[in-house]
Amino acid sequence: MKRIAVIAVLVAAFVPLAAAVAQLPTFGEASNPTNTYLVPRYLQKGPEEAGAANVVTDVILNYRGYDTNGEVVVIFTALIAALATLLVRPKQMAATPPGDDAPRSPIVSFVVKAIAPFIAVFTVYLVLHGHLSPGGGFQGGTIFGALIILLSLTLGHKYGLSLLPERSRPWLQAAAVLAFIAVGLLGWALCGAYLAYPSYSQLEWVREGWLIALEIGIGVGGAAIFATVFWTMEAEP
């Protein structure tokens, strides 16, 4: 009975949705409104007026930088939400979680230790080169966060924690939002609007510098947040 009701709901939702998407402009045509209205300016002028050869980065960090500002706040919210729902006592995260002292395979530890420097270098490349090629702060930060999680799984919880010292951890977690607000306020004070970049063509290096500052902030903040969420979930109540 319940199954029939569910299927009825799904069919009732499918018919209008499918009919609506069928009437959208045909898939993949270069003449669609999405591809002819705003985008030509992004593609033609983006690298020059926004500062990055990768136009996706131009849109993320410059044209629609305020969205990305909101987005880094969303991951910060997720971190605080995880801490607020899971922590029950102080120093909970510093305690060794159950099963952490179980013997680990020496092969796994060796392989992880061997590839860790390469992963780290790769993330640095992704973050710093994101405005010129595919990649960027989020991608790099996520991989670095995964590296920290990998290390604390294979080399022990204590080792993982020592990568993000307790004193600086709250600052690192807030790095992305703080980077955005800093660049935003600089733009507000110097260039006339929140998150505005200097528009003179001689100041291209400033634009590029601000983009890189944002990418680094996002990368550091993302990595710190993902690692902390992992430790919080792992911690014994």
Q: Tokens 């792992």 correspond to what residue?
A: 234
Nearer of residues 155 and 179 to other proteins, judged by Cβ: 179
Nearer of residues 93 and 151 to other proteins, judged by Cβ: 93
Nearer of residues 155 and 177 to other proteins, judged by Cβ: 177
Neighbours of 147 (CB within 10 A): 22
Estimate to the nearest angstrom the gap between the alpha carbon of 83 and the chain centroid.
19
Residue 39 interacting with other proteins (CB under 8 A): yes
Least distance (Å) between residue 211 CB and other proteins: 13
Number of residues that bind other proteins (CB under 8 A): 98
CA dist 229 and 87 (Å) reads 11
**Site pattern 61..80 for other proteins (x: CB under 8 A):** -xxxxxxx-xxxxxxxxxxx
Kindly write down the DSSP assignment for every residue of 70-114, as one continuous string: HHHHHHHHHHHHHHHHH--STTTTTSPPTTTTS---HHHHHHHHH
Nearer of residues 85 and 202 to other proteins, judged by Cβ: 85
DSSP 26: P
Among 103, 193, 200, 201, binds other proteins (CB under 8 A): 193
Among 174, 223, 224, 227, binds other proteins (CB under 8 A): 174
**Site pattern 99..138 for other proteins (x: CB under 8 A):** ---------------------------------xxx---x
Nearer of residues 155 and 234 to other proteins, judged by Cβ: 234
- Under 8 Å CB-to-CB from 72, ≥6 apart: which residues? 176, 177, 180, 218, 221
